[in-house]
Amino acid sequence: MKTQKAITYLLISMVFGVNLATVSLAAEDTWVRKSDMPTARYYLSASVVNKKIYAIGGGVAAGNPNAVVEVYDPKTDTWKRKSDMPTPRALLSTSVVDGKVYAIGGTQDIIATGISTVEMYDPSTDTWTRKADMPTPRSCLSASTVDGIIYAIGGSIPQAVEAYNPKADTWTKKANMPSASTWVLSTSVVDGIIYAIGGMPWCAAGVSTVFAYDPKTDTWTRKADMPTPRSCLSASTVGGLIYAIGGASFCGGPGLSIVEAYNPATDTWVTKTAMPTARRGPAGGVVDGKIYIIGGMQVGVGPVLATVEEYDTGFIPKNVNSTGKLATTWGKIKRSR
């Protein structure tokens, strides 16, 4: 046994070039509580710029959208207030291109009366700029970026897909999403393909459908269903896997703690460790291979949460020092013994 351990330590040292005497192995598939967001809210959106998470808009109470912008630094576990978004709204979606955050659509009344407003936030100057309106006013949508183009998908106008070019400040209609159950869905990108996950028809039960959109061919493909039907969830990509977190099984239903991971390469799902705080309508952001789930609510009418929880996927990004984070390789070596 001692010999096997010595060989294992030697292998990891050779792979990572580190002295394991100074390394603590992090545990993957685990959750840790972090500093609360200063302003409790749900149906907000979050985007990451320079390893900081910008939490934007959302609702602070039923029927009361806000314009609050707060930035979280995972390195120091601290929050700072930033300039308010010009248009208060919830059920919006944000996406990043060239270090700028684009806030798209949403609602100002929480009953999903969609708006077309697009505003750009520049973190370097802490300023907002109005941009060309989205052609189809809507809330409950999800937006993802591929090759510098933002794709606004689904929402309160079912199946709608429109692409925004920030450089030209113009919108283009794209092929409709096959499913009409697109209220409060979530999207995430793997290898240039956008995966649209979950959602619901207007004020109904959540669905488990997954569709893949290829921007190059403007086509949609049905994929393996998510094990747990739900809407109001958060989806984030880490290491080629999409993590579907939280949500609700039906309109107005209680929040879920379920975490399921989708592998596009095999078109399969696996269940992961549940999130400590069950919730619907949170925002999510990824920094250095860890997912941060922010805000949300526990049931359909409250209470609104400020809770932040960090999920360690076990993935080590190439630009991150491996010291203190060898769980993935450690597990692989242990299983091969």
Map out the domains of the chain as residue ranges.
1-26+322-337, 29-313
190: its two tokens: 């793997």
The answer to whether 54 and 46 are in contact (CB under 8 A) is yes
pLDDT of residue 299: 79
pLDDT band per the 50, 70, 90 thresholds, residue 27: confident
DSSP one-letter string for 214-225: ETTTTEEEEEPP
User: How does pLDDT run across 140-198, given as a tens digit for each residue?
Assistant: 999 999 999 999 999 999 999 999 999 999 999 999 999 999 999 999 999 999 999 99
Query: How much is the pTM?
Result: 0.88
Which is nearest to 215 in space by CA: 185, 180, 174? Answer: 174
Instruction: Give the ranges where the chain is alpha helix by DSSP (H).
Output: 2-16, 327-336
Residue 1 has pLDDT above 50, yes or no: no
What does the alpha-carbon distance between residue 270 and residue 276 come to, in Å, rounded to a whole number? Answer: 18
Percent helix, percent strand, percent coil in the chain, to nearest 5: 10, 40, 50
What does the alpha-carbon distance between residue 253 and residue 247 come to, in Å, rounded to a whole number? Answer: 9
The answer to whether 272 and 258 are in contact (CB under 8 A) is no
pLDDT of residue 328: 40
Mean pLDDT, residues 25-30 taken together: 74
What does the alpha-carbon distance between residue 40 and residue 308 come to, in Å, rounded to a whole number? Answer: 10
200: its two tokens: 């619901």
pLDDT of residue 202: 84
- More confident call, 20 vs 100: 100
Mean pLDDT, residues 56-80 taken together: 92
Q: What fold, for 29-313?
A: Neuraminidase (2.120.10)
pLDDT of residue 110: 66
What is the chain's mean pLDDT, rounded?
88
Residue 323 has pLDDT above 50, yes or no: no
**What are the residues facing 229 on neighbouring strands?**
none
Amino acid symbol at 133: D
Residue 44 in 3-state DSSP? Answer: coil
- More confident call, 39 vs 320: 39
